[in-house]
Every structure is written in C-alpha cells, then in structure tokens.
C-alpha cells in the first residue's frame, strides 16, 4: 500500500474556528460606600466601557482575544458609587485556513461574540457576590462596533 500525501492546496482546506481556552486575566470589584449604600433609595445609573484586544500567539494559528469591561454603577439621586467592576476576560482561539483579509473581522466579531456571554456571566455573579442584584449587561452588536471602527479608521486616514 502506498501512502498518499495530502496534496490539497491550502486554499482548499476547510477553515477551522475553535475556542481552545477561556480564562480571567484580571477581576476587580469595588464597593466603596458599603454598608451605607445598601440603605439608600434611588435608581442605578450605569456607565459601561468595553474594549477588545487581540494578538497572534507564538503557537501557529493561535490568537488571544481579550475583552476588557469596566462597569461603574452609581445611585442616580445621590451620585454615590454603588460598585465598580473591572474584568479582563480572555480566550485562545485556533484560527486556521482563514483568509488574511477576513481575520480582523473574525477576531473582532466572531471571537468577541463567543466570549461575551461568559464575560457577562462573570460580571453578573460578581455583582451578586458583592451584595447587589445581578448586573446583567445588554447584548452587544460586535459587527456594528467593528464596522464603526473601520469607518473611523478610514475617516482618520483621509483626514491626514
């Protein structure tokens, strides 16, 4: 029996998109006005900042995507801080046979969309562990964020 070599060109290989590992890089919960804050009346006011970073790892076809979220929740009447949660949640993805022109979108949209529900759960559980009701973040449209980012970059390049 003769052995056949895989002579299929790389372009004909099917793309591989696989989550390899998720992990918390950094997690912080601050409750600066406890215990008095638990007795105050008022609606919460929420300020959320989200940032994404991605980088190619030394291991072939592996990328790290890091989602950083800072959520500051304060009392809308008194402006006093209820709590602040900061989390850096990351994952390693195997991305193989994906055309280079599609890689930024896969990292910024598909990987982020897969990671977000887990990050959201970490934030929710952290707020409960801090003595508050669950803080459930609204879903995020990562495709819209990516497209807006591309438009801003294009506008910035034409302004120069």
Q: In a structure prediction context, what are the per-residue pLDDT tens digits for the chain, which is 160 residues long? A: 445 555 555 557 899 999 999 999 999 999 999 999 999 998 999 999 999 999 999 988 999 999 999 999 999 999 999 999 999 999 999 999 999 999 999 999 999 999 999 999 999 999 999 999 999 999 999 999 999 988 888 887 766 5
Supply the pLDDT for residue 153: 83
Q: Is 148 domain-assigned?
A: no
How many domains is the chain partitioned into structurally? 1
How many separate helices (H) and strands (E) can be counted in the chain? 3, 4
Q: What is the CATH number of the domain that holds 54?
A: 3.10.420.10
Question: Which own/partner contact pairs does 56-63 have at CB distance under 8 Å and 24+ positions apart?
Answer: 57/92, 61/16, 61/94, 61/95, 61/96, 62/20, 62/92, 62/93, 62/94, 62/95, 63/92, 63/93, 63/95, 63/107, 63/111
Q: What is this structure's pTM?
A: 0.85
Residue 78's domain comprises 14-133
In a domain? residue 152: no
Please give the angle made by the CA atoms of 118, 138 and 80, to the nearest 5 degrees.
100
Q: Identify whether 23 is part of a domain.
A: yes
Residue 143 placed within a domain? no
Rounded Cα gap, residues 136 and 149, in angstroms? 25
* 72: in domain: yes
Cβ neighbours, 10 Å, residue 40 = 12
Whether residue 112 lies inside any domain: the answer is yes
């Amino acid at each position: 029996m003769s052995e056949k070599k895989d002579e299929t060109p790389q372009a004909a290989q099917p793309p591989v998109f696989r989550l390899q590992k998720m992990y918390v890089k950094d997690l912080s919960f601050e409750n600066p006005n406890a215990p008095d804050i638990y007795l105050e009346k008022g609606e919460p006011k929420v300020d959320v900042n989200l940032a994404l970073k991605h980088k190619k790892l030394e291991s072939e076809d592996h990328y790290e995507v890091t989602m950083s979220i800072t959520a500051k929740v304060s009392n809308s009447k008194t402006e006093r801080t209820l709590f602040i949660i900061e989390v850096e949640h990351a994952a390693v993805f195997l991305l193989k046979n994906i055309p280079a022109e599609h890689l930024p979108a896969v990292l910024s949209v598909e990987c982020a969309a897969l990671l977000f529900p887990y990050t959201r759960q970490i934030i929710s559980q952290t707020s409960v562990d801090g003595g508050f009701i669950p803080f459930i973040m609204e879903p995020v449209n990562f495709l819209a964020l990516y497209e807006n980012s591309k438009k801003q970059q294009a506008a910035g390049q034409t302004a120069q």
